[in-house]
Amino acid sequence: MAKYTEEVKQLLELVGGKENISAVSHCMTRMRFVLVDEKKAKTKEIEKIKCVKGTFTQAGQYQVIIGNDVSTFYNEFTAYAGVEGVSKEAAKQAAKSNQNWIQKMMSNLGEIFAPIIPALICGGLILGFRNVIDSIAFFENGTKTLVDISQFWAGIDSFLWLIGEAIFHLLPVGIVWSITKKMGTTQILGIILGLTLVSSQLLNGFSVASTPASEIPVWDFGFAQVQMIGYQGQVIAAMMAGFVLVYLEKFFRKICPAVVSMIVVPFCSLVPAVFIAHMVVGPIGWTIGNAIASVVYVGLTSNIRYVFAAVFGLVYAPIVMTGLHHMTNAIDTQLVTMSGGTILWPMIALSNIAQGSSVLAMSMLQKKNERAQQVNVPACISCYLGVTEPALFGVNLKYVFPLICGMIGSGVAAVISVGFGVEATSIGVGGLPGILSIKPQFYLYFLLAMAAAIVIPFVLTTIVGKKRLSGEELYGEEAEEAMEAAAEAEAQAEAAQEAVEVKELKAGLTGKVIPLDEVPDDVFSQHIMGDGVAIEPENDTVVAPADAKVGVVMADSGHACGLIFANGAELLIHVGVDTVDMNGDGFELLVKEGDQVRAGQPLIRFDKDKIRAAGHPTVTMFIVTEQGNAGNIEYLTGMDAKAGETTVIRFA
């Protein structure tokens, strides 16, 4: 029979009924619901259910903590509710329906960038290392870098650019591939489209800002000309191109007969996608980039520069995620030419530091989550060395709040930097080494801005993270479930320890307590099974007289069960006389062998009228069959007892 009949009924009703459940699954200790309307779930009442240890909502899932016995509860719940359980991954997919459009967008972005995060991390560390050896003048009175004085390190620097260029210049290839992979279309077509965006036939995207418009090569179609611009390092253009390809392929796959689809679908998908990428998507991306560059220049040279500094510091990290941040190089170069220094570059370096500090806070919060640390630690290092993509895409965008906390810290630091007029001699190394590009007279002020960029994001991310991150995210899913299981085991051990001290058994039924001698059955009245008491029942449910483990049960007839207490004493509960002949009719056994039960928990439900109709007495026996570690036992009879309250047996 079902163990959690009442609890299952209560939970189904309190989550809003079957019609409010989109999907349900379970992990080691929790029921995971995807609810149509989470507001219908009555959390306070759910947490009062006897077997429920707590609730919380995470990533669109309403989770109810049951404990180690969750699989039994889950099976009984799905059977009673008439709902079909799904896997945890399926539940996570269904949970997206409970997310708003911003959450869905961030989730999709995370899934697109997840496969390329290892490459970004590797590239970030390589570029950070190259920045140190080829951009920082440590030698000969600050006039030469390590690359300048050593042919070996010059060779290493040049060789490592093979990897750096492949990862960051050819990033559009990885992005378009990842989009086709996520959307279930042909991945090789995505790779080819990505390669057309970074072809060597095109002007390198990083050189566009410094190339006069008249020198940019074009495709001449007679009636129109299209600039031959590459999109190295660009994110928005690559993503737009990828989705164009995906939807074209899906459209042609749907309308094209299967017999010619191998020829028609790839051609009709790829060729238009390449045209659209270079003639529509690309120009839109560059227009956005030019507009941003113009705004930056005006902001730096106007009376609103303090407001601009706050806004620029706030939005620079999202600009990096679009790939449009390279446009700032032209502005920096122009400022250096005009005034011998740039106040823009210090803000960029501070933004890198701020985002790295958010990742540092996440690394501290997730120090026990080994899987997360594999991304956090290298992403933090590369970010502090000036390459933010691994941190942005691998950590901060995934959780969103670290990104926002970093943006706030960056905005404050930018205001400090501009307020004190901090200038860099030229474009230099981002992140913590960025101070080496700052004019010496501004070192102190830049250090103050750096302190804001480090402390503010770290503190904000730590505070928000403690409230927002689930146990799974803090410790890892497997560790969190193991911790919950350990906590459950500890609770059970504590309960068992308390049970060792049991000194009395409460009445299992409400009714008149009589001596065994008065039971109309020689086996019981002559104490052949052992000593005990009997109760003439007024109610119809036998409850556990104390915390115990269920020993034997009469599963077929349901009229009897045995309990084992932690002190070794054993109790047989037998409902009625000769009721085994009823073959279970009128009885409902609510526990099974091996169950741990608490005092007052229902054990057997019976129908007194059916027992009497079958010609059997309803008197119920509670017999101590094994004394265990108990000393003298006192049996109390001759009074009216209330189930779960009145003491009927005492262990001396």
Of 526, 481, 516, the closest CA to residue 26 belongs to: 481
Work out the burial of residue 103: count CB atoms within 10 Å of its CB; fewer than 13 is exposed, 13-18 middle, 19 or more buried: middle
Q: Which of 564, 619, 362 is nearest to 465 (CA)?
A: 362
CA distance 651 to 307: 79
Is residue 604 classed as helix, strand or coil in its secondary structure?
Answer: strand
Is-contact 519 531, C-beta < 8 A?
no
CA dihedral angle for residue 44, residue 50, residue 52, residue 53, rounded to 10 degrees: 90
Kindly list the strands in the beta sheet with 640-641, ordered across the sheet, starting from the edge strand earlier in the chain.
596-597, 548-553, 560-564, 570-575, 620-626, 531-537, 511-515, 640-641
C-alpha span between 140 and 137 (Å, rounded): 8
- State the Cα–Cα distance between residues 234 and 213, nearest whole angstrom: 20
Q: Nearest 5°: phi and psi at 476?
A: 95, 145
Token pair of 644 as six digits: 């779960």
Contact between residue 378 and residue 304 where contact means Cβ atoms under 8 Å apart: no
Cβ proximity of 123 and 387 under 8 Å: yes
- How many Å apart are CA 519 and CA 616, to the nearest integer? 12
Q: Which of 27, 51, 383, 561 is catalytic?
A: 27
Which residues, in sequence order, are CB contacts of 47 under 8 Å at separation 6+? Answer: 54, 55
Is 405 assigned a catalytic role? no
384 dihedral zone (left: phi>0; alpha: psi -120 to 50; beta): alpha
Measure CA of the first residue to CA of the last residue in the chain; give whole Å: 35
3-state secondary structure of 22: strand
| Nearest in space to 277 (alpha carbons), one of 385, 176, 133 | 176
Whole-angstrom distance, CA of residue 174 vs CA of residue 148: 34
CA distance linking residue 121 with residue 394, whole number of Å = 8
Element (H, E) at 651: strand 647-651
Q: Provide the token pair at 15.
A: 């989550």
Catalytic sites, residue numbers: 27
